[in-house]
Structure 1
């Protein structure tokens, strides 16, 4: 499937119908976010910037804090904001299939000025299926990543991951796209506020053998939006992550309606299948000093019960 689709490149846009991308406060009533949920977006999402991406020209994409299943304290409902989810392709040099230069300098920044370097580690270990690290471009189900933050985000309640059962009901679901401002947007989008806008998951392709689903939607997207979240509201009233935006079906079709026959749609990878386990155990270069290491050199971090 991968060769038929377009990874997001600066200057190339996919706006499906009207352009719905607006800063979160402008859309707050439309997407039915409370003030606390707006603040959660400001604290828990942002962008990753890697100076060595795009053949050394630098690149950025959206990212956000997640809570791995089993890591939220049942009594206090607290979960540490120490890991990010995003798309993998920012970290891979498409021409060589190797990690980008200066990967250790990749940095996350939220909308309240908190910054942290990433503990990236072995890029092949993000997904057990990755033998050639070019596979994010050839295999959409591999185009997801969870990395540790060296400095956890203060006062952030990270987003929970949708369950397998919730993922199965994704087709036709209204979602909110939560991303960083995107490459084609004008100077009024300063990068100081997240984008949040409504759209719909139109089709879900289930994976065999434990991989995540792949989803089509009518969510507008451009370079910088990769790694953003497709959120939906759970029955308990909280927002959960159902997908991570990774690419578009076609480019230069701005303003045309959703149409699968001309590949006018946006693509996200589901946070189901093997994703929860990747979230629980991101492979890091060094284990945390505060948690120690086991005999194999892996973190001793355990879920908070």
Structure 2
């Protein structure tokens, strides 16, 4: 109907290219325009002024000979003032942008190691954007932004990187575990040393108390029973301790004591051996 009435409508965010007898005439802005087709006027095409996005996948090699696939996302739009260049100078805008992206990425990534590619992806994106801006402005297009959205190494390379990372973490964990065990052993040894030291003090004090008690007992017994000697008192103490020991062994329900041939008369022999080996001065 619009063509029959020699009118045409251009939608918002678009422009139309008007030709007359096959030659460019003017750029039609959004709105309604008179198009006298009987006089040779016609619309050659429309150009969108909206921002468009093109994702480019480029396979290349890093400096350390690792093949990666770099995915670049290019956001671009046609410039309204240069709509004529955008319409007539390029037959396939996507192919042209893709060619420039390939050229820049394959020139930049081989200069970097794999780890540096991940760290410096913003630098690669900036280089792509600058090259596209310089080249596409002459064709009537503006580069809004360029992003490196993904870097995909080979599957085996990713598996190897994960294994290296896991091994490194396991090594750190092993070192931390060994350090913790070392601290535990040191603390355990310090505790055992302190325990043995205190046990030694306890034994020494026990023996001192026994010696003091025996001395007081001998003195008290000698003063109470005239005619007794220290030897008699010591024999009596040994016999008393002997029967106390037998009583404790017999009262225990579960005992691991080992009995050897003995008798009450053996106490005298033990006392004699103690006096002969420890108390009497060698001749």
Q: Could you state the TM-score of these two structures normalised by the residue count of structure 2?
A: 0.20
- Decide which structure has greater strand share: 1
State which structure, 1 or 2, has the greater radius of gyration over its C-alpha atoms. 2
Q: Could you state the TM-score of these two structures normalised by the residue count of structure 1?
A: 0.19
- Decide which structure has greater helix share: 2
Where relative contact order (Cα < 8 A, 6+ residues apart) is larger, the structure is: 1
